Amino acid sequence: GAVVSQHPSRVICKSGTSVKIECRSLDFQATTMFWYRQFPKQSLMLMATSNEGSKATYEQGVEKDKFLINHASLTLSTLTVTSAHPEDSSFYICSARDRFTGTGSNQPQHFGDGTRLSIL
Amino acid sequence: AQKVTQAQTEISVVEKEDVTLDCVYETRDTTYYLFWYKQPPSGELVFLIRRNSFDEQNEISGRYSWNFQKSTSSFNFTITASQVVDSAVYFCALSEASTGNQFYFGTGTSLTVIP
């Protein structure tokens, strides 16, 4: 089955540090990947849609300069939380669509296992 | 407006009891997909089911069953003979043809199965 690898699974770092999270589709190509954020005991909220070879589309209220997204290949998207602060502490999950399976909303989304980010 | 509503925030049941998790959705699309995911304490999302808007047939998979009712815009999930391992947060999600690039997640229902 389609596998999405997300790395690292957990990060603990000091305030002001920039943190990069990787999302890889291991056995399929993904022209589109999604980044979600989940605060404790809350739902997953879409942050941005990452499109291979073009700029990401950010949801309203998400700071583009704070959350840098790069999708340079069909199997890798990265999310960099720049100058992270304690309020950025959250669970970040990526998902990827298999470009060759289905169309639009019929395309399955495959989720990574998430990254738990803790900023001290 | 919330596209997916899971009114039950937390549910506790005793092991072996049946439990139904409610999901109500809102969409103007005629083509859409509904999903259920399980999120155990470790955090990963476990896919349970996908159902398209043209297939209202109920589905059963082991102890899990799903009741899709377009007339009430509901997609409820029932676990029969619950087990402690079923304890998790369950999310219902909607994907629309018109906005096919994203999922709309409900707020989740935290299920605790007491031994």
- How close B82 gets to chain A, by Cα (Å)? 22
A54 touches chain B (CB under 8 A): no
Nearest Cβ partner for B97 among A95, A104, A116: A104
What pLDDT shows up at residue A105?
55
Q: Of B111 and A74, which is predicted with more confidence?
A: B111
Each residue's pLDDT tens digit, B55-84: 888 888 899 999 999 999 999 999 999 999
For residues A46 and A38, is the Cβ–Cβ distance under 8 A? Answer: no
Each residue's pLDDT tens digit, A19-75: 999 999 998 888 889 999 999 888 999 999 988 888 899 999 999 999 999 998 889
**Nearest chain B alpha carbon to A43:** B107
- How close B15 gets to chain A, by Cα (Å)? 23
* Contacts within 8 Å (CB) and 24+ apart, B71-76: B72/B24, B73/B24, B73/B25, B73/B26, B73/B27, B74/B22, B74/B23, B74/B24, B74/B25, B75/B23, B75/B25, B75/B34, B75/B36, B75/B51, B76/B20, B76/B21, B76/B22, B76/B23
